[in-house]
Amino acid sequence: MQKQAKIIAALGLMGALFMGTGMTGTEAAAAPAAQTASADTQAAVPYVYTSKEYGYTINCPKKPNVVPAHLIYENKKGEVLVFDNEGYTIKNAWVIIKDAFEEKSMPDLNKINEEEAKKYCSALMASNGYEAIELISRTKKDKAIYAITAKEVEIDSNGDGKPDMTAKADTQMAVTFFRGNKGGRYSIQLIDNPDLRNSAIALFQKGVTTFKEK
């Protein structure tokens, strides 16, 4: 029950920021109201980080230390915005990955209907280590996939409808996938060790709404 309550709380924090459809995994979470970056959002994430390397801006809770993503994630393009660390251990960070998925692997999220969204989210959940997933409105114009990874989940790796492997992780992450305002294929992910905190999730969600390609 504690595990389910934590996921419900994590998704429930979307209430002030995102409109969700096609939720899978945690049906008990209430459908939240639509909202984009507001004055409250700007106050919570006041620092505007501009990536000269990848050409985007995103509002952050404070000035981050920036690490190239490929130093942590092999063959990934992007940046890790570190807000808290202990030596080489990252305690709190946002991972921003460019070219995070193949163009044909994700439909136009702004055009699919609710039934199509549910099927797509279900397929993603079956083939990835997600404990909950849904389609949300990241901004007034752009939708995104939002998910919470699981510490342990059965995965259907070959798409035959039957789980054939178990994935385990030391921590959980909040993850988004979307196309930017200029068509870039991005993923923004929250690292919050050792456990996902509601406060960290709330700041992450606010930051995600402010992401813009220049």
Task: Work out the average pLDDT over 196-209.
Answer: 95
* Residue 150's pLDDT band (cuts 50, 70, 90): confident
Per residue in 73-95, pLDDT tens?
A: 999 999 999 999 999 999 999 99
Question: How many percent of the chain have pLDDT more than 70?
Answer: 79
Model-wide pTM > 0.85: no
Find, among 92, 108, 25, 22, the residue nearest to 60 by Cα: 92
C-alpha to C-alpha distance for 206 and 44, rounded to whole angstroms = 8
The DSSP-derived string for 153-208 is EEE-SSSSSS--EEEE-SS-EEEEEEE-TTS-EEEEEEEESSS--HHHHHHHHHHH
Per residue in 37-59, pLDDT tens?
A: 455 666 789 999 999 999 999 99
The DSSP-derived string for 112-144 is --HHHHHHHHHHHHHHTTEEEEEEEESSSS-EE
